[in-house]
Amino acid sequence: MYHASLLLAAFITHTIAQNTPAPFVKAGVCPWLVGTPISNSISICNVDNDCKDAMKCCPTLIGRYCLQPDANARKCPDGSLAVRTCTTDSNCADSQTCYRGICCPKSSGGNPSLPTLPTLPGNCPTLVLPSPTYAVKNDNLCENDANCSNGRKCCPTLLGKRCLLPS
């Protein structure tokens, strides 16, 4: 009887886990976290759905809080603001396509029209690899300078492309 109860509990837990949808991830990028978060911090959210409107659940130095995302990271080529992030077209509605990590409306040709991308003046800081065999990660937060704001350029780093101040 005891084993049957354990099996039933395991089955129910597995079934619930299988049927739980992935948390909704709103479009945009959380503000940069500068510094080390304090231990034993108190969070007011766990996932983006815990936040109202377009706000995202972002890490801060004192816990996770609902913050406005970087608006430029939510902009589609047609000028509209995306409300959801994606990794493939299957993450988006049928009328949308995954464009640079956000769901954007499809143009009449099926894909968003690509805008002319400006290149900002200045140079990216030199990327120094810790060893010749180090593999740079491709966790990109920008694709080009147009994805960056406040005079920053989209530059390669050890973690992937990031918006950095030019040298």
Per-residue buried b or exposed e for 66-105, using 16+ beta carbons within 10 Å of the residue's own CB:
ebebbebbbbbbeeebbebbbeeeebbeeebbbbbbbbbb
Measured CA distances, 113 to 48, 97, 151 (Å):
28, 11, 24
Q: Is 93 within a domain?
A: no
165 assigned to some structural domain: yes
Number of domains in the chain: 1
- Whether residue 36 is contained in a domain is answered as no
Task: Answer yes or no: is 16 within a domain.
Answer: no
Whole-number Å distance between alpha carbons of 92 and 63: 30
Residue 159 lies in a domain: yes
167 lies in some domain: yes
Of 125, 124, 85, 128, the residue nearest 103 (C-alpha): 85
pLDDT computed for residue 122 by the predictor: 83
Q: Which residue range(s) make up the domain with 154?
A: 116-167
Residue 155 lies in a domain: yes
pTM value is 0.39
Domain CATH number, residue 138: 4.10.75.10
Residue pLDDT tens, the chain, 167 long: 555 554 444 444 444 445 555 566 787 778 766 667 788 888 999 999 999 988 889 888 888 999 988 766 778 888 888 878 777 788 888 999 887 777 889 876 555 544 445 566 788 888 766 666 776 677 788 877 777 777 788 888 877 888 888 87
Look at residue 22 and tell me if it is in a domain.
no
